[in-house]
Structure 1
């Protein structure tokens, strides 16, 4: 198991390095001139040249990449071009806000989806099973921004229960935070719950159709004990995998939701930075999203392997 974890860590580090390389060169090769964008069309050629030299844009691309990579490995993401602030301080609070939103969505989505999946599996073919599957597939077919606007229309415009804009002052209370974060979290919940629900249903049905479950039924074991002590533990590996992967999506997929609700997270910061051509901030946000996804992906592999002893022998 130790060798398996080390292999996953090395593979994750390699993946993250490839992602950082693609991020840097992809952002650097974007069309347009950052100096002209920052200084304005009326700037003289001398001013533009001096600005490029100040940013190091006159140096070869490979040299800039090595300098950027070396600084990132030391935890230094540079300085924002838009406001001159240190990027580490700029993204710290935004990253925490994004984790708060993703965590709130996970707290709602995971128990709800697993509960519906288990109930659907235990009542296979019933009206409840058909209704849960129909609603889940209907919701997952809609894009996040559509779900967000429908929720805003119902709960903000018509009912007035929750704010449509997620403004978060520094002295916010816990109750105010819940009120502000609920609609964005509910949007993410409706977007991801179908995947978790259907995987929970499929994994549990696969185990319930096993021979040892039939033997337990014939011996008169209570249905609750069969599900909790025999079926569910053996169905955990794929369920854990899809839950953690959807948590990774919650973190990296919040961009659209944050933009709709003007939520002060990493997604909103990255969109604003793209509009301002603040490339160092765009690179830092992209790297933070990529690192979160890679770490959670490795976590999914490790947890699903720990939950299934057969995978440990195969690894």
Structure 2
């Protein structure tokens, strides 16, 4: 129960502290999904400059969002034994430094969106608003878990917009081309792994008056996480069929589900740290499998 992805050991260098603070490896949750959105929307490889800009947009938004999350929760984290080693709590990163990082992150995100295409830039404030308001939602509603999950879904949405905006002047056509089934499936998937963060803090959050489905459901929270991820796999399979993808996409989807199942098994054994990180692997498997399927043009089943 002591696992904390944002904790930083004492006596480490500044770069290490910043990397732990941002949990930069978790960008791997979003990047395969963003590329999935772009590849499926176009049914071909997007231009390389767009792929690079998608990476930078996610990278900078990660900086802004995670820093804002840590800043908003600084006092809460200081009282939680599990999160007392986070850099903003220990002073390894100052409040002023955090505010500068938020400004840099948002600026980098908006510049990246501007360089992608017009519609990506127009829609970028909505994406940023969803990301930046997340840490405040758990003060009010358990649906904060779905708010966080929607950020992962927006990765697919944003990747699709980045690709489609190169070819369509109409916002309606851009939105019609978004693979919405994958967006929805990703939201259900992300609710499951987000609860791996909240279940260990269930009692603490209840005492602090914070909200999540872990607090609301108690001992049923883990089953709820598993149910959400099962729904996500079913919708992913529907998406494979709806968007005319080939057998490799179905294989990737099944593997994605099996990895999630193993992560769920680990969670039942209170190994929430490994369960959480196995979702990175499942994301990579799904994203790469579908992208390769699109690139190779494998015939649909």
What TM-score, normalized to structure 2?
0.31
| Larger relative contact order (CA 8 Å, sep ≥ 6) | 1
What TM-score, normalized to structure 1?
0.30
Structure number with larger C-alpha Rg? 1
